[in-house]
Chains A and B, each alone.
Chain A
């Protein structure tokens, strides 16, 4: 069996230096060094050690992928260190255990001194008390401070339900506040940029948004203005906060200060169904969570995958969901009546006058049998297939089977854009790698398209199967398509090609089906269905599977799992993979 595909290729880790510490009285051994926000090994912090000990340390400003700020003070914990004598030797208790000195304020020895767990490195023998009364009192104090000037507008706040201030107030806060003064009032609904609105009163000034923008995106747009309790987040005067990653600040904002103009006031988050999916806007394949309710998509949010996108995604990809719910979606199986199709083949005059062929609604069964009949009769080499690198591996694999049976020339359409330094890839197809690995197209995508066009022109190619591409924009004008005997088209939204189709098969958005993509770096990732397809639309792999079965006579699998496993068996790059073993974050394949 080939080992082309592996779940993760890492060299054997070197032996790890460990430190023994106690967390809430329980001794654990933790690595001396752990990755910091950039992945560099640094001395393990109290917070990391507590996480390893499965003890929660609440925090606001700390984020594992951002530089440490230490400003919220929520992660303050009481701690103790081994006591040392004047000879720098450990002092022991009577039972031989090391004596621990609980840390206190130097000027007030009866008061415990907390350390911020996010920035304090551990040391051998250290004892951390994340559940002690002193630690709890510190948290209560911080929460009280955070709440005194925070508007209690949870009922109309978009963050409600996923708000750390709410959650920690319930878990670690007090039921009442002593505050009887007037609250500080700050700007509301500040227009930071095209996609972001800021409520300065809700802001707890953790500076996550500033650090993300500065240190991850490399944009110095955000900063703090004013002083003390009047501190406010603001974009640099005269500028707008408009880079392609601004919406990530909404995700990492622990409160409802930064809100997405697109999502605000649209839906309470607890009504949203969350489905693990992928972004299809470029070849990076950012992992995302689809938030939907009653088959309507309300938002995309990045889903952490450190092999691909970390916890981030770009704004363009995140907002690229509205087309799924468009009213003009293709929802019917349509066929041109016999005779009309032949008329089409010499109807260049008609297309000039703008007349469109008349399409009749039919059923999947009828359409697929008609197509099968036609394909069974065509001579080898008279069919061409233009697939799409927006299709899944499974669909491309099935198209490849069809192509093999029919001796068809295949290719797909390249889509290029400008790459950035963070996530956006120059390849704007989500599955170019998959299209190559499954054999539908070659290293240089689109190189066969002129050949196919020439074949149609020469009358050699009489049947064209198009999936998910408007070929009229890629060298196949209406005149050329008019020469075909049969034009079979599957797509999601109407375009010039779908209007000329003899058979129009309505397909699904990725959010409406399951499948896998391979990103530009060779990460094979799966996505699951979030919403139901519209009307009669069906996942392409389902009807392609039927078609392939009818045309080739080969039996196949009717489930995506079986289909994937069959593909893994037949496509060399996927050898050894199984659907069930891909996991939520995918696997790396050899490309």
Chain B
């Protein structure tokens, strides 16, 4: 029976569990830090020695931990890219700018178990020779920032943070930095700029890869809240044991934010790949099914920027057969295991693991107009295609949802989106283009029908100049 596997959220919702240090320690908190600091150097077969820090980094790499923020990149590999020979300080930044529409997992950790994050960060700091770390938290989380600051204070008072941590001579300092309310600050180089006190314009890569030229042009690691929490468990369990969770190449657990038209929206921690999309939506342990009398229409599987999947779709997914050979097999949408690789094979991504479920009451044009308005509002405006294209798409969709569409608007939208994706400084280009491309590709008839209906109505009323009235008012409005 598919069920939750709570690792990160093991205690979070237990009755009586509070977010203070004492409670955390009572539940075994900061034991992972002690274990990590007591790590013995490792002798290698070739006679070389691995320092305790290298051992921990190796453990994280071997655990197969993949970033929980969106890209799903190997955390251990990311750490291995850090320039450790520059002589400059290395910084660690926790990306707590959880802003992807549909995502509400990191706030559970921050609100309910902040010390788990702090412990994971201290271990990661130690493993990467970091003396100063930042938690960059989105401006819309004032309570989260307050909780984290209190937790840092507690940890400092108890000697888990600051000078001479636990008497080992280790010094790590950590600060909470609040954003000012911009989605783009979740992009790691935009975040770094913001942390430096500048406008959060993402940096061009090359040359500004954070691992080499990050915060203050020093080597910098940026990891998601949930990713850093997993470091505790990798240390506690050992990489081999941890890697048994989930499925090969998709190890560990993941907190899924389930929203939309299901009976039991909420967050569910699952072993990666051990639960299917269908189970997440329909099983009583998870979404509990759609509202009565409704049919599934579409799923946005990994936060609003991931490409939408249509009910009834069947995908070709690589499966390892009993003989070890990879073969392509047909997998229906609802049978897709919820992991990084399966969703990629389905042409989308698990992103921030935020599933938005839409039933047949959803107007896809309206839904896309809503998303596009968000992206037009959040584009930082640094580079041309996204700055101009995101608002262009939003305006077209506003027109289409306000009775002034054209049949050709479906292709028009695709044309705009194609000029954005792959041509921007950061992944926001894809984030704003993919919803448009996938909605139109999969629900083109709805867009065309709406446009055609508007055209027919305009023709019968015979007044072309009326078309411009709501558009003209648009630029003065919100979008």
Contacts and interface: CB of A to CB of B under 8 A. Distances in A.
A binds B: yes
The CB with the most chain A CB atoms within 10 A, among B201, B395, B399, B474, is that of: B395
A129 to B, nearest CB: 15
A145 B379 contact: no
B416 to A, nearest CB: 8
A70 B206 CA distance: 10
B388 interface: yes
A116 interface: yes
B380 A227 contact: yes
A317 interface: no
Contacts of A74: 384
A480 interface: no
Contact of B384 (A107, A142, A181, A184): A142
A227 B384 contact: no
Interface string A240-284: 000000000000000000000000000000000000000000000
Interface in B396-416: 396, 399, 412, 415-416
B381 A229 contact: yes
A73 B420 CA distance: 11
Contacts of B474: 181-182
Interface string B69-99: 0000000000000000000000000000000
Given A138-B423, A144-B419, A145-B385, A68 B475 contact: no
Contacts of B468: 182
A417 B4 CA distance: 78
Given A71-B383, A119-B207, A224-B199, A148 B423 contact: no
Interface in A169-193: 178-179, 181-185
A114 B420 CA distance: 12
Interface residues of B, number: 42
Nearest to B475: A182
A263 B472 CA distance: 34
Contacts of A105: 421-422
A37 interface: no
B421 A229 contact: no
B299 interface: no
B206 A120 contact: yes
Nearest to A70: B204
A141 interface: yes
The CB with the most chain A CB atoms within 10 A, among B347, B399, B475, is that of: B475
A229 B204 contact: no
B425 interface: yes
B387 A181 contact: no
B423 A68 contact: no
Contact of B377 (A107, A141, A149, A227): A227
A53 interface: no
Interface in A59-86: 68-74, 76
A68 B207 CA distance: 10
A231 interface: yes
B392 A148 contact: yes
Given A182-B475, A227-B380, A229-B379, A145 B419 contact: yes
Contacts of A108: 421-422
B247 interface: no
A226 B382 CA distance: 11
Contacts of A205: 381-382, 384, 387
Nearest to A206: B384
B391 interface: yes
A76 B204 CA distance: 13
A223 B199 contact: yes
B391 A228 contact: yes
Interface residues of A, number: 43
A47 B117 CA distance: 44
A328 to B, nearest CB: 51
Contact of B387 (A116, A120, A231): A231
B129 interface: no
Contacts of A116: 204
B4 to A, nearest CB: 31
Nearest to A232: B381
A365 interface: no
Interface in B361-384: 376-384
Contacts of B380: 227-228
Given A72-B384, A120-B206, A223-B199, A141 B390 contact: no
A184 B472 contact: no
Given A138-B423, A228-B377, A146 B384 contact: yes
Contact of B379 (A121, A179, A223, A227): A227
Contact of A228 (B378, B412, B418, B424): B378
A175 to B, nearest CB: 16
B199 A229 contact: no
A230 interface: yes
Contacts of A181: 392, 395-396, 399, 471, 474
A111 interface: yes
Given A141-B419, A178-B415, A182-B471, A148 B388 contact: yes
A138 B391 CA distance: 19
Nearest to A223: B199
A178 B399 CA distance: 15
Contacts of B377: 227-228
Given A141-B423, A181-B399, A229 B391 contact: yes
A224 B379 CA distance: 14
Contacts of B102: none
B381 A231 contact: yes
B182 interface: yes
A202 interface: no
A113 interface: yes
Nearest to B395: A181
A524 interface: no
A229 B472 CA distance: 16
A116 B382 CA distance: 14
B422 A114 contact: yes
B389 interface: yes
A141 B419 CA distance: 6
Given A119-B204, A121-B206, A185-B475, A178 B412 contact: yes
A73 B384 CA distance: 7
A204 interface: yes
B425 A182 contact: no
The CB with the most chain A CB atoms within 10 A, among B182, B377, B383, is that of: B383
Nearest to B409: A180
A69 B468 CA distance: 37
Contacts of B383: 70-73
A298 B387 CA distance: 37
Nearest to B198: A223
A182 B479 CA distance: 11
Nearest to A137: B419
Contact of A70 (B391, B392, B425): B425
A145 B422 contact: no
Contacts of A142: 384-385, 419, 423
Contacts of B391: 184, 228-229
Nearest to B396: A181
A121 B204 CA distance: 13
Given A181-B395, A227-B182, A228-B381, A114 B206 contact: no
Interface in B81-132: none
A71 B384 CA distance: 7
A76 B423 CA distance: 8
Interface string B343-355: 0000100000000
Given A105-B421, A184-B391, A228-B377, 10 more contacts: A71-B383, A76-B423, A108-B422, A114-B422, A120-B206, A141-B423, A148-B388, A178-B415, A229-B391, A231-B381
28 contacts: A70-B425, A71-B201, A71-B383, A71-B384, A71-B425, A73-B385, A73-B423, A107-B430, A116-B204, A138-B423, A141-B385, A141-B418, A142-B384, A142-B385, A145-B388, A145-B419, A148-B388, A148-B392, A181-B399, A184-B475, A204-B384, A223-B199, A227-B378, A228-B378, A228-B381, A228-B390, A229-B376, A230-B381
- Which 8 residue pairs of A and B lie closest in terms of their CB atoms, listed nearest first? A141-B419, A231-B381, A145-B388, A70-B204, A229-B391, A228-B379, A181-B395, A228-B381
